[in-house]
Structure 1
Amino acid sequence: MTEPTLHTEHTCRLARPALDEIHAFLDSAFEGGFSEEDWDHTLGGLHACVRDGSGLLAHGSVVQRRVVHAGRSRRIGYVEGVAVRADRRREGLGGQVMAALEEVVDGAYAFGALSASAAGAALYTGRGWTVWPGRIAVQGSHGVERLPEEEGSTYVQGVAGAVVPSDGTAARTLVFDWRDGDVL
């Protein structure tokens, strides 16, 4: 068996067969719970894939989103579609994917954000991601709409100087841009 290798590529550089493979992989990894909107959210940024001779072992992508905080719009890196093949979990493959995505977030964006399931949270907290301590909202068709169901499962990384004021007194709401399907 060949050693797993990490490869990063922007969506625009992935051929249709590679995109189809990633899509099928994510649908399988999320046990059919990966919607067409989820797939759309995964596209348009940088993909990190770990492969070996047996095929795709792990995937994640980081895409650009806009978040408003304390009256300022910020360009952030939003992590999407992180999954590891079921028979290869707990081998550090998710960490390899996240390291590649975090490099992009650190080098290109004000900070990083993601929405984590209870099962996936340990990967992120172990890498220094923290639950956003304030409110989560979206700029919807009728203005800003609070998303209390996303509070406690939205994680951020690299925000110390970017959005959290040193005195801690400013509003602690992140207002994400609208998108179809699950907003976060």
Structure 2
Amino acid sequence: MTPPGLSLRVRHTAFLPGSTRAALRELLNAVYGDSFSDDDWDHALGGLHTLARLEGQLVGHAAVVQRAFLVGDAPRRVGYLEAMGVHPAVQRRGIGRAMLRRVNLQVTRAYDLGALSASDEGLGLYRAGGWAVWRGPLGVMTPGGVVPTPEEAGGVLVYAPAGELHPHLPLTCDFRSGDVW
């Protein structure tokens, strides 16, 4: 159920005014504190932003950006969920669930699959929303070749609306600065 007074709007980064970008950065700093880096902010740009407003106030955000992954040896276009969060003052009211439903729809309509790296706090929400923990080996494509990332095991989730992906296969993400997952 959507909380009363909640509105969700989806906008591409290109159509976010500077004031909205500044408000988003403030929101994400409130959600994540010092652990939200400039690289994290950069990872959230260039895709679709789901903006949650409660009685007109910006209280939630989720970004879906395109990435290129390998599932086994097969390339896949991935909608990667970044910078999802709800302001601490209004958490546990269904805002995250409502945003995740919108994210799932975006993934279903535009990508082969969705992927994300979950915090311990977010794991339950994502699993309840249809995302599954990837069980196969994880790695990152680097300029020097594929580098295993076993430290990410249990925290990388996928959403596969089109069918089974065989989650025992290797999953390899593209390289980027900061956290690769």
Runs of 4+ in structure 1 deviating by more than 4 angstroms, as ranges, are none
- Paired residue for 2:175? 178
For 1:100 and 1:69, how far apart are their aligned partners in 2?
A: 24
1:68–1:174 CA contact under 8 A, matched in 2: yes
5+ residue gaps, structure 2: none
- Paired residue for 1:92? 94
> Percent identity between the aligned chains?
37
2:71–2:169 CA contact under 8 A, matched in 1: yes
For 1:159 and 1:106, how far apart are their aligned partners in 2?
A: 6
CA RMSD of aligned residues (A): 1.6
Q: Deviations over 1:45-91 (max 9, x none)?
A: 10001113462111101000000122211101000001011111110
Shift of 1:142: 1.2
Shift of 1:159: 6.2
For 2:161 and 2:78, how far apart are their aligned partners in 1?
A: 10
For 1:47 and 1:95, how far apart are their aligned partners in 2?
A: 15
Q: Deviations over 1:86-139 (max 9, x none)?
A: 111110000111111111100100011000011110110111111001111000
- Paired residue for 2:105? 103
Shift of 1:24: 1.2
1:8–1:49 CA contact under 8 A, matched in 2: yes
- Paired residue for 1:141? 143
The residue identity in structure 2 corresponding to 1:183 is: V
Partner-residue secondary structure (3-state), 2:24: helix
- Paired residue for 1:120? 122
Query: Would the alpha carbon gap of residues 160 and 132 (structure 1) be closer, same or farther in structure 2, given more than 3 Å must change?
Result: farther
Shift of 1:146: 0.3
TM-score for the superposition, normalised by structure 2: 0.93
1:4 corresponds to 2:6: yes
For 1:16 and 1:78, how far apart are their aligned partners in 2?
A: 23
1:157 corresponds to 2:154: no
For 1:162 and 1:16, how far apart are their aligned partners in 2?
A: 40
For 1:177 and 1:134, how far apart are their aligned partners in 2?
A: 17
Query: Would the alpha carbon gap of residues 12 and 162 (structure 1) be closer, same or farther in structure 2, given more than 3 Å must change?
Result: farther
5+ residue gaps, structure 1: none
- Paired residue for 1:57? 59
Shift of 1:12: 0.6
Partner-residue secondary structure (3-state), 2:34: coil
Partner-residue secondary structure (3-state), 1:31: helix
1:5–1:50 CA contact under 8 A, matched in 2: yes
TM-score for the superposition, normalised by structure 1: 0.92
1:110–1:162 CA contact under 8 A, matched in 2: no
